[in-house]
Amino acid sequence: MKCLQWLMVGIAAMLTIGLAHAEEDWTLVNNKEGIQSYCRKASGTGLLEIKAVMVVDAPIENVGEMIRDVPGYVNWMPYCGEGEILAGNRDDANVRVLLDLPWPVTDREVFLNARVSYDLDHGRAFIDLTNQADHYQMLNTDVIRVPAFQGRYTIEFITREKTGIIYQYSLDFAGALPKSLTNFISKSYLLENLKNLREQVNSNRYDQMGNKSNDRKLCETILLDSNRLDSVVKARLSEFIQDEEFVDWLSREVSLYDLITAEKGRLSEMLLFSWSSESVQLEAVRFVVQKVLEAKNVSPELIDNLLANEDLTRAIHTGDKEVAPERMLASQWNEAT
C-alpha cells in the first residue's frame, strides 16, 4: 500500500509542480502544525530550494546536540537508514547519511560536511551543510550518490525553554527521477523532518546531551553577564528598530531581556516568522512600545492611543529624528505619574 501511495503522489507531483514555482522569490507552500515552509527555484537548476521555520519548546542546547547527533538520525529523520560521522569533531565533521527510500526509488547516499558557527552578538548558531560527494570513493553500487546538496540550520534563542529553527536546503537526487518528483520528495521530507525533530528534542537522550554540552555552558554564561545580555538584545532590536538612540533609551528604562522574552518570547517568535516583512516589523515596534508603557503603568487608554499613532511607529522603525519617539513616550508616563 505504501508503494502504491508513493506512485500516486509521484504522478500528482509531476503534473502539478513544474511552472507553479518558477519565480525566484520565496513562496509560502505550507503553514500548518506550527511550521511555515517556503520554496523557490534554485538558481540555474530545475530544482527547488526549500526553507521551513518553526519554534520548539526546548532549550537551544538540546536542538544543537540533536542536529550534531548523526548516528541518531535513524530515530527521527525521514527515510534515514544509516548515519555516521566519518571524520572531524562536533563542530566540523564529515558525515554520511543513507536514505532508505520506498520502492521503486533507489536508495541514496549523501556525503556532507557539517560545520557549526556562532553569531553570539545576536544569540544564534548555524550549522552549514555542504556537499562532499567528490571526496569519498563509491563503495556501494546498489545506491545512487547524491551529487549536489546545500543546506543550513539556523537555531535562535527565543527564551530559555524555546528555540527558533530555520532549515533551508536544496538537493539533486540524481538518477532517473523527474525533477518534479525530486521536488515533491524534498518538500515532504522537510515537513516530516521538522515535525519529528520537535517531537523528540526533549527526549531523555537530548536532555542529557544538552545538559553536558558546551552550548549550555555558553548560554548560561551569557545569561549571567548582564552587559553582554543587553548587548545581544540591543542587536536583536536593531534589526527592526533603526533608531539607535531609541534602543539605548529603552535599555535605560526597562529590562531588555524581560522585553524580548515577554509573553513566552512573542517578540522574537514574531520576527522569526516575519521574513523581514515591514508589516511584521511595525507590529514588533508596537509590541515594544506597549510593553514599555505597561512597565511604566501608563493607562490602557493612553497606550491604545499611542499604538494607533502610525507616525510614531514608523519613526521608531526608520529612525526618523524629527519625531523624537523617546521624548514622546516619556512624556506619557510622566503625565501618568
Q: What is the pLDDT of residues 73-121, one digit of tens each?
A: 999 998 899 999 999 999 999 999 998 887 778 888 999 999 999 999 9
Residues constituting the chain: 337
Residue 255 lies in a domain: yes
| 120 and 153 fall within a common domain | yes
The boundaries of the domain holding residue 78 are 9-212
Predicted local distance difference test score (pLDDT) of residue 14: 32
328 or 232: which leads in pLDDT: 232
Best CA proximity match to 97, nearest among 113, 117, 82: 82
Maximum distance among all alpha carbons in the chain?
A: 78
Burial state string for 78-115 with b = 16 or more CB within 10 A and e = fewer than 16 = bbbbebebeeeeeeebbbbbbbebeeebebbbbbbbbb
- Which of these three, 150, 181, 212, is where a domain ends? 212
Contact (Cβ atoms closer than 8 angstroms) between residue 315 and residue 243: yes
The tens digit of pLDDT for each residue in 172-211 reads: 877 655 666 555 666 677 788 899 999 999 999 999 999 9
C-alpha cell at 94: 564529515
- Which of these three, 182, 212, 242, is where a domain ends? 212
The tens digit of pLDDT for each residue in 16-41 reads: 333 333 335 888 888 888 999 888 88
| 298 and 153 fall within a common domain | no
Predicted local distance difference test score (pLDDT) of residue 16: 33
Best CA proximity match to 185, nearest among 21, 9, 22, 40: 9
| 196 and 231 fall within a common domain | no
The tens digit of pLDDT for each residue in 124-144 reads: 999 999 999 887 777 777 888
C-alpha cell at 41: 527555484
Please check the confidence at residue 15 and state whether its pLDDT lies above 80. no
pTM: 0.85
Predicted local distance difference test score (pLDDT) of residue 322: 75
| 193 and 238 fall within a common domain | no
Please check the confidence at residue 13 and state whether its pLDDT lies above 60. no
**DSSP letters spanning 65-104:** HHHH-GGGGGGTSTTEEEEEEEEEETTEEEEEEEE-PPTT
- Which of these three, 212, 234, 254, is where a domain ends? 212
Helix (H, G, I), strand (E, B) or coil at 189: helix
Residue with cell 514574531: 270
Please check the confidence at residue 48 and state whether its pLDDT lies above 60. yes
Please check the confidence at residue 267 and state whether its pLDDT lies above 70. yes
Residue 2 lies in a domain: no
Predicted local distance difference test score (pLDDT) of residue 94: 96
333 or 238: which leads in pLDDT: 238
C-alpha cell at 3: 508503494
Residue 263 lies in a domain: yes
